[in-house]
């Protein structure tokens, strides 16, 4: 009996590639060269499933052009704004993702950005590597202390809640903005705000964790930035589209935002060139879930979803 055909658009961890090769006629991408839309369609010919990543754009036109054999699209991510879910549903194609397994890793990365930005770690590391460091000095690279500050979390989902839990160890008072208040057992003592103004005013440190969609696009704009305490720390480990880059860069130049840490960008891998000219911005290459443990877990859960769909079962990670 022939194995079902699975197209995997990028190189995946070795354990995931091995499982895919065992259970499927797997079309792998060991060179990890991003596919164009035309390449993806060509390679998907005869495939039962496509395992894509956020670097792939499966819009309505692309999904409409997929071969009739495709029954499931799996994305190696929690976010699925790069896949047109409605178009897939209209064609009877299931979409699965990787919920629940990357929350801790991404929250760790967000806290890394908070600390690195606030304590000017990027500047210090570059200074030492450049060979220009001349030794300790009383006023050298003075940043701002994080402990005891107010942390504002925009989007109190799983990742936001993990970040809140970590912040407790730094005696940070957590405030959050979301569409609805969480039940007390999930809120964990955090303070909910039902309007932007009070939330932003309470955010000495602002961490973005909302999904990327039309409602949240460029949510952090000039008006909202003006509502932050002067010198606030801003970090984004969610979606680059949440930030109005021009507004954030202007605020960093004036000191309205004191420090920033970014792991995601609008239009990545391209980033706004204005960020590169600012020393007090930490720039990382989308490392949120980049741990061995997490990426393996992501691969297994997405393969579980594909297995279930092709076996006629409803997967637990079905995007609805």
Question: What is the distance between the alpha carbons of residues 21 and 15, in angstroms, rounded to a whole number?
Answer: 10
Q: Where are the alpha helices (DSSP H) in the chain?
A: 14-23, 37-43, 60-65, 85-90, 103-118, 121-130, 158-168, 184-187, 196-201, 222-226, 245-254, 273-276, 292-310
SS3 291: coil
Per the DSSP assignment, residues forming a β-bridge with 173 are 150
3-state helix, strand, coil in the chain (%, to 5): 35, 15, 45
Q: Which of 239, 246, 276, 279 is catalytic?
A: 239
Which entry of 57, 181, 217, 286 is annotated as an active-site residue?
A: 286
**223: Cα within 13 Å, side-chain hemisphere:** 4
Catalytic residue list contains 239: yes
Question: Can 181 be counted among the known catalytic residues?
Answer: no
Pick the catalytic residue from 82, 268, 272, 300: 268
> What is the torsional sign of CA 72, 78, 80, 86?
positive
187 is annotated as an active-site residue:
no
- Residues annotated as catalytic are 239, 268, 286
């Amino acid at each position: 009996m022939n194995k079902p055909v699975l197209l995997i658009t990028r190189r995946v961890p070795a354990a995931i590639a091995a499982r895919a090769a065992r259970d499927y006629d797997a079309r792998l991408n060991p060179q990890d060269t991003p596919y164009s839309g035309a390449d993806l369609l060509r390679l998907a010919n005869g495939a039962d499933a496509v395992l894509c990543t956020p670097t792939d754009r499966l819009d309505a036109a692309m999904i409409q052009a997929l071969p009739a054999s495709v029954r499931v699209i799996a994305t190696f991510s929690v976010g699925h704004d790069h896949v047109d879910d409605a178009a897939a549903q209209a064609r009877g194609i299931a979409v699965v993702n990787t919920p629940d397994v990357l929350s801790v890793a991404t929250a760790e990365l967000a806290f890394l950005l908070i600390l690195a930005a606030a304590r000017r770690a990027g500047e210090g590391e570059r200074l030492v590597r450049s060979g220009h460091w001349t030794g300790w000095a009383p006023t050298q690279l003075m940043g701002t202390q994080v402990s005891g500050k107010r942390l504002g979390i925009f989007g109190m989902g799983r990742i936001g809640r993990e970040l809140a839990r970590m912040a407790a160890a730094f005696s940070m008072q957590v405030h959050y903005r979301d569409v609805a208040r969480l039940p007390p057992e999930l809120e964990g003592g955090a303070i909910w705000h039902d309007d932007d103004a009070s939330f932003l005013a309470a955010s000495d440190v602002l961490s973005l964790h909302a999904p990327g969609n039309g409602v949240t696009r460029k949510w952090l704009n000039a008006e909202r930035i003006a509502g932050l305490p002067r010198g606030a720390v801003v970090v984004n480990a969610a979606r680059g589209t949440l930030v109005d880059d021009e507004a954030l860069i202007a605020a960093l130049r004036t000191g309205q935002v004191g420090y920033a840490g970014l792991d995601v960008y609008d239009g990545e891998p391209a980033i706004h060139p204005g960020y590169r000219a600012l020393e007090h911005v930490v720039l990382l290459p989308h490392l949120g879930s980049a741990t061995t443990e997490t990426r393996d877990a992501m691969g297994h859960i997405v393969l579980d979803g594909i297995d279930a769909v092709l076996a006629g079962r409803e997967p637990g990670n079905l995007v609805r």
